[in-house]
Structure 1
Amino acid sequence: MIFSNEPIVSVSNASIFQGINTILRDVNFEIEKDEFVFLIGRTGSGKSSLLKTLYADLPLIMGEAVVAGYRLNGIKTKNIPFLRRKLGIVFQDFQLFPDRTVAENLYFVMRATGWKDKTKMKSRMVEVLMGVGLGGAATKMPHQLSGGEQQRVVIARALLNEPAILLADEPTGNLDPEVSDGIFRLFQDINKKGTAILMATHNYELLKKYSYRILKCENGLLLDSKTRDIPLSSIHDM
């Protein structure tokens, strides 16, 4: 159980690895239950590796981390699906099944995460699609949707299990500016309803426009604007 005074993410003295390579070292940060946090850094600086570690796609070998009530150190394979039920994961490349309708894409995730009651599944599917502005898209195939609409489906999919936090890896990276703005406003709405957001982005315009906390991967370290590790001038150098 996650108590109200406990952070959704707590990482201390951690090192992030890809194979035998150390990507980030001495990582220390927390994310509170209602926070919106940007994750920035140059390509290859460790953003995706950090996110993958948080949802247990990469093992945490050194240090301590607790995410949504689950300790990542030595987490058993059988427990990883339970961890991920408490997370929403949004990818840049959508990862929708192209041969299944929007509804079938969502039902697949629901069945995989333990939903069994078909009436409740349909109700939740309709609810999340309405919430992202796609109430009429259930019977459409992914190729019938625009890029922005497909990303909204991905966000709906991530919201199915009412996650404590959304982990988003460049969710607007392949979208034009106007569509990106709409997707970002959707994330803001989700955050205002109490879901924490950790969003990796290269969109400097967002950083200039919104004064959310920033984590920056740089030279093997994770810098934190909350602790004044990041001079504002350095944000340009992503």
Structure 2
Amino acid sequence: MPFSGEPIVQITDASIFQEDQTVLNNINLKIAKGEFVYLVGRTGSGKSSLLKTLYCDLPLHMGSIRICDFEIEKIKRKEVPMLRRKLGIVFQDFQLLPDRTIAENIFFVMKATGWKDKAKMKSRLADVLMKVGLGAVSNKMPHQLSGGEQQRVVIARALINEPAILIADEPTGNLDPEVSEGIFKTFEDINRSGTAILMATHDFKLIENYPKRTLTCGNGEVLDSAAQPVT
């Protein structure tokens, strides 16, 4: 699929740090609007640190990153919530509040990102749950859902503000292979609707079955499967 226009992510001469250690050096890459990209590499190779830098959980000390029209190296603390409204973030460990219903979990995020109109909130809740195939779970507690269903709720929560890009950190890491495939197909459906996806994964079966552009972290660098070889 051809992509055009301004990239949704542009990383220029960036180095990524975890505490005082440099984990990735001199990254230069772009992710187009609507693109689906895998991020792979061994544990400790810098995948999660790169993702955390994109959504400002880790500071950027060297180079520049532009994502959703925000310049990460210049971003002010008060602007970080505005950036995160344009991103959807999907974690491996769900991070659902166990003492609240699914609806309350999603309303919590809505209120934190500026939603106030209750009718619009209820309508959007129904929309995002239907999008992930969970139209009837809003009054259930997280523990009443399977792992796959909980991950779908997390994806629904990430879609609340119609993000330009979903950043997913090992979203199928705790799930059985069959469930993982269903979750992956949910991501593909979301991508087909125009949302870019950057997915960190260890699931090489998925990559083999559904090949896409792949960024590989290792030995302090990021290798891009789409890079043209030098001749």
TM more than 0.5: yes
Aligned-pair distance for 1:211? 2.2
Give distance in 1, aligned partners of 2:224 and 2:209: 18
Q: Which amino acid in the other structure matches residue 159 of structure 2?
A: L
1:212 aligns with 2:212: yes
Q: Contact 1:215–1:225 at 8 Å: present in 2 too?
A: yes
Aligned-pair distance for 1:228? 4.8
Residue identity (%): 67
Gaps of at least 5 residues in structure 1 are 230-238
Aligned-pair distance for 1:74? 2.8
Q: How does 1:29-108 map to 2 (within 5 A)?
A: 29-108=29-108
Q: Counterpart of 2:166?
A: 166
Gaps of at least 5 residues in structure 2 are none
> Deviation per CA, 1:109-160, whole angstroms, max 9, x where unpaired?
0000000101000000010001101100000000000000000000000000
> Deviation per CA, 1:155-185, whole angstroms, max 9, x where unpaired?
0000000000000000000000110000000
Q: Which amino acid in the other structure matches residue 6 of structure 2?
A: E
Give distance in 1, aligned partners of 2:5 and 2:60: 24
> Deviation per CA, 1:11-44, whole angstroms, max 9, x where unpaired?
0000001111101000111100110000000000
Give distance in 2, aligned partners of 1:76 and 1:45: 28
Q: Which amino acid in the other structure matches residue 205 of structure 1?
A: K
SS in 2 for 1:227: coil
SS in 2 for 1:73: helix
Q: Which amino acid in the other structure matches residue 80 of structure 1?
A: V
Give distance in 2, aligned partners of 1:121 and 1:17: 38
Q: Contact 1:132–1:156 at 8 Å: present in 2 too?
A: yes
Count of aligned residue pairs for this structure pair: 226
Q: Contact 1:60–1:74 at 8 Å: present in 2 too?
A: no
Give distance in 2, aligned partners of 1:228 and 1:176: 36
Q: Contact 1:90–1:158 at 8 Å: present in 2 too?
A: yes
Q: Contact 1:8–1:33 at 8 Å: present in 2 too?
A: yes
Any runs of at least 4 consecutive aligned residues in structure 1 with deviations exceeding 3 A, and if so which? none
Q: CA RMSD in A?
A: 0.9
Give distance in 1, aligned partners of 2:6 and 2:134: 34
Q: How does 1:9-48 map to 2 (within 5 A)?
A: 9-48=9-48
